[in-house]
């Protein structure tokens, strides 16, 4: 009766790397070609791969520094209004516009009126009352067609 060893039958074959042997004979042109061919085969083998985990740990991106966003500045709410102004004072606005242009700082009519409001706000009470009394009161509403 023949018995087989199960361990021998299921064992996996071991692969061994075969390295080219150095020639023992004096090198000849034909022998050097054989050695060169073997050297290229050995050099063409891929280098041992790094594990994917090692690659991930080596190429770790730096976290981007968080930049604080500047607080949004709310635009002031604009109000449109209409008013009546005497022709003589209206021409003063045009004169002031030309004066600002000559001073290399062109201004719009609305900017001149806003600057006048700021100047009035900065005045003392007595100067403010004097400026108000210098301006005559006019009838409100649309002017009559001439």
pTM above 0.75, yes or no: no
Q: CB under 8 Å to 97, separation ≥6 — which residues?
A: 106, 107, 108, 109, 112
Query: Residue 144: what pLDDT?
Result: 76
Query: Residue 97: what pLDDT?
Result: 95
| Ranges of each domain in the chain | 87-134
Query: Residue 138: what pLDDT?
Result: 86
Query: Residue 91: what pLDDT?
Result: 94
- The parts of the chain modelled with pLDDT lower than 70 are 1-61, 146
Query: Residue 48: what pLDDT?
Result: 61
Query: Residue 63: what pLDDT?
Result: 73
First to last CA, the chain: 139
Query: Residue 124: what pLDDT?
Result: 96
Contact 77, 65 (CB under 8 A): no
Query: Residue 31: what pLDDT?
Result: 52
């Amino acid at each position: 009766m023949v018995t087989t060893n199960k361990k021998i039958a299921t064992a996996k074959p071991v692969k061994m790397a075969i390295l080219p042997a150095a020639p023992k004979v004096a090198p000849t042109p034909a022998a050097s070609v054989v050695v060169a061919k073997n050297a290229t085969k050995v050099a063409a083998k891929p280098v041992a791969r790094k594990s994917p985990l090692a690659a991930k740990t080596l190429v770790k991106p730096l976290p981007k520094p968080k930049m604080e966003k500047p607080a949004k500045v709310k635009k002031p709410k604009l109000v449109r209004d209409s008013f009546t102004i005497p022709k003589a004072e209206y021409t003063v606005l045009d004169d002031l516009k030309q004066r600002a242009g000559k001073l290399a700082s062109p201004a719009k009519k609305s900017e001149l009126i806003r600057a006048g409001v700021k100047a009035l706000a900065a005045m003392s009470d007595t100067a403010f009352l004097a400026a108000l009394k210098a301006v005559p009161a006019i009838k409100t509403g649309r002017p009559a067609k001439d």
